Structure 1
């Protein structure tokens, strides 16, 4: 088999070989829910890149960078469906119904989401509606910020010497408040590492709940803003200091917050800096 592949691709440029690859068909009347990755356009998957070139319509989120959209089919219609906290945003129900309408109109619909569509991206809600309405769809996972974004900050989400478990949680509920469905008593001590999405606004309240539930106030906290992009920045503190950080108005968002010992590796693992940030693909 490897000899056959070698003959087939011999003499072709590395990316040109993909022209002969047998990608799945993006059929009219279907929706692809695609994860764009945590920031850098180069972190999208091959299937995601294929979808960008095939789509008739791209419905994209606020966290999808312009550099990625430049890779899209030039004739594709682009519909912005960004949702950012504290700013006017389209309602989720309207976005989902729009996907259904476009698919029923015979379009190849690409729903492009930052990170992974199924990790606090409401991709599950959209897939649920598509399934109920009889719309064929495909889910293309993406690199989520809670893993890939931390890696770009030199923070491994797991390390054999620090943790055998990790918890992912959202920092706000559907109404924008502190999540009420979280068992903070259980979460506080269930894993050495807790990764929090969209948590900066309520970081003080979350820190208080975790400390009250038994978490060490001296535990490390790192806030990674604009992960995997040239604008990436990192703030480090302790859990006890996190409340003061949360009250600051100058912390860039989107941001991912990680609590636990893994941020100690940043000093040795901080690879994405200086000239490396000049390559906008990542």
Structure 2
């Protein structure tokens, strides 16, 4: 998951996240890339965090940057010793799980920050501290939370290390006696993104329902036992609907898909969903970007499954919005299985798949009865992003079939080379379409022997599909005629009339 931010300092910047996304995604990051974070970005985030509220405007936080490798090594040793000591308090499976949860980011994170609370601060004139002196610590926690959210909005991750001996950290860093360690923070670019906390993902502790922590004074005695004994259920059952948004043109949405978008409480949308379609979502609904970006770090499928289930368990109508048709190379099977396993009601609204949209714009029949006995869809990459090993090459080489290749950008040259070896005629018509049905649609008319080179030279942005087969000759003939007319018009020569 890449957070949306327009800041130039963020190499992953693509837009700006909503506050709700930041709150839901402000996970404790434990694995970082070693890439440096620009000093200007770190300073900007710290200055923003310094605006956090504090009791009596006391601003008791003291932030210590730790760039020294020697000091960091001492902190790592402190952590390892504290980790072993804390592990002695667990036994059995809990102990095994505890020792498997390692904080690799302590060595990889490019920025280390120690946050102290100055217990002797005079600023604020003691306002609020005479009755609740611990609010100094609470103020520092507010500052860290602001820093945490600001870092995530910039695409950075923040980890809060609590398994350390505070006194030893203070000694290592030479902190004054009145400074109390609040947290040792790690800042850097996340190695991976997840929607759920790592401790929940690995089975340490699941998140419990909100209702177990919400009370109304005067109705009954305040008691954890009463809350824990009563199962917290949403006032209405939640549900998930998988909706196909089509290839991009919002007018290709089905009426049922439009109804789903306008009644949704939350919409989890893919990277390829066109913005005009997102504009049709009911105002007030949660919009959550869970796009999986090919060949880049992106949101993991198990995280998306967990997010769908979590939102539905809150009693929400959840729409999982996908480009094209969710049942055609859309990983719908995994999401349906996740919802059914969790007891969540799920339905599917099909969409116009990109092959249909592209063919419609080209005005070509993919099943022309004079040339095609079969229409087949194949994907050009597997779970690893590689060309699948189990493609039926004899079917691809069949001259009486129309083949549509989804997601072929990286593997098209390899695919066409193997298909030609298996007997596919290199002169077979082939058409590549980028951003089918959208305003920036691009069409590349060629043959299967040359289409990979044409695409590589053009390097089009956005989703691409390739169609091949004799049924496409009508489209290629029209394209050739249009090009001839354009050339003739450019030179002031009218084409011959027959």
TM-score between both structures, scaled by the size of structure 2: 0.47
2-structure distance, mates of 1:249, 1:148:
21
Which residue, out of 48, 57, 66, partners 2:257? Answer: 48
2-structure distance, mates of 1:151, 1:178:
28
Figure out how many residues of one structure are paired with residues of the other and give that number: 244
User: Is 1:84 aligned with 2:293?
Assistant: yes
Counterpart for residue 60 of structure 1: 269
User: Is 1:200 aligned with 2:405?
Assistant: no
2-structure distance, mates of 1:87, 1:72:
27
Counterpart for residue 118 of structure 1: 327
Bigger relative contact order, structure 1 or 2 (CA pairs below 8 A, ≥6 apart):
1
- Measure how far apart 1:269 and its partner are: 7.2
Asked whether the 8 Å contact 2:407–2:464 carries over to 1, the reply is yes
User: Is 1:179 aligned with 2:388?
Assistant: yes
User: Relative to structure 1, is the Cα distance of residues 190 and 249 closer, same or farther in structure 2, using a 3 angstrom cutoff?
Assistant: closer
Partner secondary structure for residue 348 of structure 2? strand
Asked whether the 8 Å contact 2:431–2:467 carries over to 1, the reply is yes
2-structure distance, mates of 1:258, 1:267:
12
- Measure how far apart 1:185 and its partner are: 3.3
- Measure how far apart 1:190 and its partner are: 7.5
Which residue, out of 350, 354, 358, partners 1:149? Answer: 358
- Measure how far apart 1:212 and its partner are: 0.7
User: Is 1:257 aligned with 2:477?
Assistant: no
- Measure how far apart 1:249 and its partner are: 5.7
User: Relative to structure 1, is the Cα distance of residues 111 and 261 closer, same or farther in structure 2, using a 3 angstrom cutoff?
Assistant: same
Asked whether the 8 Å contact 2:396–2:424 carries over to 1, the reply is no
2-structure distance, mates of 1:76, 1:208:
47
1-structure distance, mates of 2:276, 2:386:
32
- Measure how far apart 1:188 and its partner are: 2.2
- Measure how far apart 1:267 and its partner are: 5.7
- Measure how far apart 1:159 and its partner are: 1.3
Alignment of 1:267-278 (within 5 A): none
Asked whether the 8 Å contact 1:167–1:191 carries over to 2, the reply is no
- Measure how far apart 1:150 and its partner are: 2.2
> How well do the aligned residues superpose, as a CA RMSD in angstroms?
1.8
Partner secondary structure for residue 404 of structure 2? strand
Alignment of 1:199-218 (within 5 A): 199-218=408-427
- Measure how far apart 1:184 and its partner are: 1.8
Asked whether the 8 Å contact 1:29–1:135 carries over to 2, the reply is yes
2-structure distance, mates of 1:157, 1:88:
35
2-structure distance, mates of 1:43, 1:157:
19
Counterpart for residue 274 of structure 1: none
User: Is 1:101 aligned with 2:321?
Assistant: no
1-structure distance, mates of 2:475, 2:396:
24
- Measure how far apart 1:75 and its partner are: 0.4
2-structure distance, mates of 1:93, 1:55:
22
User: Relative to structure 1, is the Cα distance of residues 263 and 252 closer, same or farther in structure 2, using a 3 angstrom cutoff?
Assistant: farther
2-structure distance, mates of 1:187, 1:267:
20
Asked whether the 8 Å contact 2:272–2:291 carries over to 1, the reply is yes
1-structure distance, mates of 2:406, 2:325:
12
Partner secondary structure for residue 215 of structure 1? coil
Partner secondary structure for residue 287 of structure 2? strand
Which residue, out of 165, 168, 189, partners 2:377? Answer: 168
Who wins on radius of gyration, i.e. which is larger? 2
Counterpart for residue 439 of structure 2: 230
- Measure how far apart 1:268 and its partner are: 7.5
User: Relative to structure 1, is the Cα distance of residues 103 and 74 closer, same or farther in structure 2, using a 3 angstrom cutoff?
Assistant: same
- Measure how far apart 1:128 and its partner are: 1.3
Which segments of 5 or more consecutive residues in structure 2 lack a partner in the other structure?
A: 1-235, 480-498
Which segments of 5 or more consecutive residues in structure 1 lack a partner in the other structure?
A: 1-26, 271-282
1-structure distance, mates of 2:411, 2:457:
11
- Measure how far apart 1:266 and its partner are: 2.3
- Measure how far apart 1:82 and its partner are: 1.1
- Measure how far apart 1:148 and its partner are: 2.1
2-structure distance, mates of 1:158, 1:244:
27
User: Relative to structure 1, is the Cα distance of residues 267 and 252 closer, same or farther in structure 2, using a 3 angstrom cutoff?
Assistant: same
